Amino acid sequence: MTVVETSDGEVLEFIALGGGNEVGRSCHIIKYNGKTIMLDAGVHPAHTGLACLPFYDEFDMSTIDILLISHFHLDHAASLPYVMQHTAFKGRVFMTHPTKAIYRWLLSDFVRVSSITPRSSNAAPVLFTDSDLQQSFDKIEPIDYHSTIDVDGVRFTAYHAGHVLGAAMYFIELGGLKLLFTGDYSREEDRHLSAAEVPPESPDVLICESTFGTAVHLPRREKESQLMSIISSVIDRGGRVLLPTFALGRAQELLLVVNDYWKSHKSIQNTPVYFASNLAKKALTVYQTYTSMMNESIRKQFRDAQSNPFHFQYIKSLRSLDSFFDAGPCVMIASPGMLQSGTSRELLERWAPDNRNAVIITGYSVEGTLAKDIVSEPLQIPSMRDSSVLIPRRCMVEEISFAAHVDYKHNSEFIDLVKPKHIILVHGESSPMGRLKSALLSKYNSLKGTEQEIKIYNPRDCEILQIPFKAPKPAKVVGILAENQPKKDDTVSAIAVQRDFRIQIMDPSDLRAATGITYSQVIERQRIRVYGTPSLIEHHLQQMFGSVAHVKQEEYDTVIEGLEVMDGIIVWTHPQESYTLAVIEWAGNVLNDTIADSVLAVLMSVGTSPASLKVTAKSHKQSHGSDSLVERIDRLTAMLSQQFENVEPVFESGKPKPRAMAKIAEATVGIKVSVDEIDAIINFSDWSVESTSKALKSRVQHVLAQILETISPLSQTDNKV
Ligand SMILES: [Zn+2]
Ligand SMILES: [Zn+2]
């Protein structure tokens, strides 16, 4: 293979349409080599109406190819329906599965809250409606962590970012340039999430959050005990404690902390704790579904106790204050977190005049919100209904941050680990961001003028930052030109064909053949661990698809073997000690996507072969084991019910539903789930899913895979029986 290098350099352009020297309305544009990527589409929590949007008018939105959403927080995701329905944007949108699940509830709540805000005649217009939200929702493509997506030559991979459930860092490769966008991230493991990962490769450019600048946090355990000692002393003196929090994300972490304390302190157990949010019930379901994406401690609780770690024994959910009987000391965890309106604001106004009470700010408070202002302990606070009415503030105000953002120590350690050449700071108010920049500059001062020099930028909103790169563009010589290698000093006439970032140099006579072939625009890849050898994988694929072809690929000096099914879906197999890392690769189109879905389903079932499941099921019935088939089907049904409107058993066709419970399980051959009157059937014989809707089918497959992963008795062969 001959590779020649073309030498023209390229310039990376970075523009913050929001989140430049501010926290709120995150939205960043990357332009490089003819491709445009947008990162996040948030709103500013301190503003309403159009004023809360990033500066979308300053950019030609129709040029954006891809939009990646880092996590569900409103300052990162809440203007997405506006972008998709009310601007010229026509690109593809990606976010992780849990982000998409939570985003839906949060944004419908956001629409509800913004449409009931009291409006005067000159009030800001509503940004988008419920139907905008619904219409755009189905177009969002959910992705898995660690799965590399290739869209017309732009490749990106999501890594765990800590922070909140579903939060992702994106490692992006375009035309030889590598970027890492941290989003909001945390490097400290907490009660339910693992710390952010360090991606395996170093990026050229790191786009990094700088919320806390050079501040250093206390360790988590110390913060927890501080919080609990304040809460206990307020209760002892007969006061009420208000913990304003965003409904989803950090709230669940606080609930875990408080519930645990109540569990281990009998004396406090008769003091009620409330979680006031109309999303509380939804949160429970979503958080249960995705326990497999949380840290080991949560997964263990879930596995061992077979119970939902997010079902809190000592905490009562309140949908609204109508059902709240305010009769003495209590702890109230209430949304919203910034105290701008809603339940938390109403309780603050009610409780602020009494000096026995306390409000504890546990999240990051955005500039311009009451949560930020109250920390300076003003003597009065404005009433939400009429800001000219002032309410005396005598309650205690404390701030203990459980906001899962890196502090200086963790941020600079992370930067050392990823070793970028350029750092673009975003998501920070001017002064902490400026302090972070100076601290990093002085830290790396000795590298100045050397090859390892690290450049640091803190652009303002709408400022165009240009970073030139010497981009060596390798071009591959192909066709007859490659067969008859020209000798030194020969003059050859050839043409260079560039598609996306790939350049091929060929003889003009090869042009037709080379460009006439169907060329795939989207290469999708999906990685999965399979607990079996490549030959076992081949056996299962053969059973499903008939013939399987062997293919090979050279990568550096190793040869990777693969199995190809249905002319185009390749499973590359990388055998490891106890499993095989399988990478499914296919050119994205409707047919291939469907086949790839079933290949994925086959691979997921390799370690959980239906034959062995049936054997286990029978033995359990005979032994009257505690974990009977009935119970397992019940559990599966229960978990599916939390995700889908209707879930019911499917019996062998033509046979009526039996009367006895045990017989029901025996006769059950599958489960039917329905959403909006569309059905999907899960077959127990091979865990395949049938549906007329591709979207529903793949959602059911995904949920099923998660459930099979978490309910071990359903998915593993029990050798002891
Ligand atoms: Zn966030
Ligand atoms: Zn944020």
The bound ligand whose nearest atom lies closest to the alpha carbon of 45 is 2
Ligand nearest to the Cα of 23, by number: 2
- Range 62-80 average pLDDT: 96
What tokens does 244 get? 């304003």
Report the C-alpha gap between 664 and 637 in whole angstroms. 13
Residue 128: name the closest of 189, 84, 161, 194 by CA.
Answer: 84
How much of the chain exceeds pLDDT 70, in percent?
85
Checking if the pLDDT of 346 tops 90, the result is: yes
The region of weakest confidence among 134-138, 425-429, 543-547, 611-615 is: 611-615
Tokens 């379901």, residue located: 285
Q: Tell me if residue 154 falls in helix, strand or coil.
A: strand
Pairing mode, strands 678-683 and 689-691:
antiparallel
Contact by Cβ (8 Å): 475, 3: yes
In angstroms, what is the span from residue 163 Cα to ligand 1's centroid?
7
**Is pLDDT of 280 > 90?**
no
Centre of ligand 2 from the C-alpha of residue 100, in Å? 17
Span 203-212, pLDDT tens digits: 999 999 999 9
- How many other CB atoms are there within 10 angstroms of residue 145's CB atom? 18
Whether the pLDDT of residue 178 is over 90: the answer is yes
Contact call for residues 569 and 545 (beta carbons, < 8 A)? no
> Can you say whether residue 152 is alpha, beta or left, with left for phi > 0 and alpha for psi between -120 and 50 degrees?
left
Residue type, 602: V
Interval between CA 68 and ligand 1 midpoint (Å): 15
Pairing, β 330-334 against β 240-244: parallel
The predicted-structure confidence for 20-63, as pLDDT tens digits, reads as follows 999 999 999 999 999 999 999 999 988 888 999 999 999 999 99
pLDDT in tens, 433-472: 999 999 999 999 999 999 889 999 999 999 999 999 986 6
C-alpha 535/C-alpha 531 separation (Å) is 12
296 Cα to the center of ligand 1, angstroms: 22
CA of 73 to the centre of ligand 2 (A): 6
Evaluate whether 245 touches 362 at the Cβ level (below 8 Å): yes
Tell me the CA–centroid distance for residue 427 and ligand 2, in Å: 7
CA atoms within 13 A on the CB side of 611: 3
Compute, in angstroms, the gap from residue 437 CA to the centroid of ligand 1: 21
Ligand nearest the Cα atom of residue 19 = 2
Mean pLDDT value of segment 288-305? 85
**Measured on CA atoms in the order 58, 61, 65, 70, is the torsion positive or negative?**
positive
Neighbouring residues of 73: CB distance < 8 A, sequence distance ≥ 6 = 42, 164, 184, 246, 249
Query: How much is the pLDDT for 581?
Result: 85
Asked if the peptide bond before residue 336 counts as cis, ω within 30 degrees of 0, the response is: yes
Dihedral angle computed from the Cα positions of residues 345, 350, 354 and 359, in that order, rounded to the nearest 10 degrees: -20
User: What is the reported pLDDT for 683?
Assistant: 85
- Report which residue type is found at 550: H
Cα–Cα distance between 343 and 420 in angstroms, integer?
44
Cα 344 to ligand 2 centroid, rounded to whole Å: 20
- What is the rounded average pLDDT of the residues 488-508? 72
Average pLDDT estimate for 537-559: 80
Q: Is residue 272 pLDDT above 90, yes or no?
A: yes
Cβ(398)–Cβ(230) under 8 Å?
A: yes
Backbone φ, ψ for residue 644 (5° rounding): -125, 150
CA distances from 425 to 64, 208, 408, 433, 547 (A): 22, 5, 13, 7, 52
- Which helix (H) or strand (E) covers residue 704, if one does? helix 694-710
Average pLDDT over residues 252-274: 95
Q: List pLDDT tens digits, range 316-335.
A: 999 889 889 998 999 999 99
**Averaged pLDDT, 343-362:** 96
Say if residue 399's pLDDT is above 60: yes
Name the amino acid, one letter, at 393: R
Average pLDDT over residues 257-286: 90
The residue that leads in pLDDT, 74 or 122, is 74
What span, in angstroms and rounded, lies between the C-alpha atoms of 165 and 194? Answer: 10
pLDDT for 306 equals 72
Question: Under DSSP, is residue 523 helix (H, G, I), strand (E, B) or coil?
Answer: strand
How far apart are the CA of 250 and the centre of ligand 2, in A?
12
Q: How far is the CA of 338 from the centre of ligand 1 (A)?
A: 13
Instruction: Taking residues 174-185, report their average pLDDT.
Output: 95
Q: Closest by alpha carbon to 534, among 563, 510, 567?
A: 563
SS3 269: coil
CA separation for the pair 124, 331 (Å, rounded): 35
N- to C-terminal Cα separation, the chain: 57
Predicted TM-score (pTM) of this structure: 0.69
Query: What stretches of 321-462 show up as alpha helix (H) in DSSP?
Result: 342-351, 370-374, 408-418, 430-443
The predicted pLDDT at position 111 comes to 85
Do residues 335 and 218 touch, judged by C-beta distance below 8 A?
no
Phi first, then psi, for residue 363 (nearest 5°) are: -105, -175
Confidence of residue 524 (pLDDT cuts 50, 70, 90): confident
3-state class (DSSP) for residue 86: helix
Q: Which of 306-310, 341-345, 564-568: highest mean pLDDT? A: 341-345
What is the Cβ-side half-sphere exposure of residue 564, based on CA atoms within 13 angstroms? 11
Q: Please tell me the distance from the alpha carbon of residue 251 to that of residue 294, in angstroms, as a whole number.
A: 15
Residue 9 CA to ligand 2 center (angstroms) comes to 34
Looking at all shown ligands, the one closest to residue 40's CA atom is: 2
For residues 99 and 213, what is the distance between their CA atoms, to the nearest angstrom?
26
- Mean pLDDT of the 137-165 span: 94
491, pLDDT greater than 50: yes
Beta-carbon count within 10 A of 208 CB: 26
Helices (H), 142-268: 220-236, 250-264
Q: Report, as residue numbers or ranges, the catalytic residues.
A: 405
Ligand 2 center to 280 CA (angstroms): 21
In the 8-state DSSP scheme, what is residue 237? Answer: T
Q: Label each residue of 599-658 as H, E or C.
A: HHHHHHHHHHCHHHHHHHHHHHHHHCCCCCHHHHHHHHHHHHHCCCCEEEEEECCCCCCC
Q: Average model confidence (pLDDT) for the chain?
A: 84
For residue 359, the surrounding DSSP H or E stretch is strand 358-361
Taking the C-alpha atoms of residue 176 and residue 106, their distance in angstroms, rounded to an integer, is 37
Q: How far is the CA of 73 from the centre of ligand 1 (A)?
A: 5
Count other Cβ atoms within 10 Å, centred on residue 155. Answer: 16
| 405 and 429 Cβ atoms separated by less than 8 Å | no
| CA of residue 183 to ligand 1 center, whole Å | 8
Q: From the CB of residue 352, how many other CB atoms can be counted at a distance below 10 Å?
A: 20
Q: How many CA atoms lie within 13 A of 518 on its CB side?
A: 6
**CA atoms of 680 and 494, how far apart (whole Å):** 54
pLDDT digits (tens, 9 = 90+) for 570-609: 999 988 877 788 888 888 776 777 778 778 878 877 765 4
Cα–Cα distance for residue pair 186/304, rounded to 1 Å: 27
The mean pLDDT value for 87-102 works out to: 95
Asked whether residue 7 carries a pLDDT value surpassing 60, the answer given is: no
Number of H helices, E strands in the chain: 21, 35
- How much is the pLDDT for 470? 80
Give the number of C-alpha atoms closer than 13 A to the C-alpha of residue 98, restricted to the C-beta side: 27
The per-residue pLDDT for 29 is 98
- Cα–ligand 1 centroid distance for 14 (angstroms): 21
3-state secondary structure 418-455: HCCCEEEEECCCHHHHHHHHHHHHHHCHHHCCCCCCCE
Give the C-alpha separation, 4 to 504, whole Å: 10
Task: Enumerate domains of the chain plus CATH numbers.
Answer: 2-117+129-216+405-469 (3.60.15.10), 220-399 (3.40.50.10890), 475-515 (no CATH), 523-608 (3.30.310), 623-716 (no CATH)
- Does the pLDDT at position 397 exceed 90? yes
Model confidence at 720: pLDDT above 60? no
Quick one: which ligand is closest to 185's CA? 1
Length of the chain as a residue count: 721
Distance 47 CA to ligand 1 centre (A): 17
- Ligand 1 centroid, distance to 689 Cα (angstroms): 35
Find tokens 């090869």 and name the residue: 510
CB–CB of 140/100 below 8 Å? yes
Model confidence pLDDT, tens digit, residues 619-659 = 333 333 344 566 667 777 777 776 776 788 787 766 666 55
* E-state strands within 101-204: 140-143, 149-151, 154-160, 168-174, 177-181
Q: Phi, psi at residue 410, to the nearest 5°?
A: -70, -40
Residue 419 Cα, ligand 2 centroid: separation in angstroms?
Answer: 23
Tokens of 66: 């891809």
> What CA–CA distance (Å, rounded) separates 292 from 294?
6
SS3 135: helix
Distance between Cα 254 and ligand 2 center (Å): 18
Considering every ligand atom shown, identify the ligand nearest to the alpha carbon of residue 73 and give its number: 1
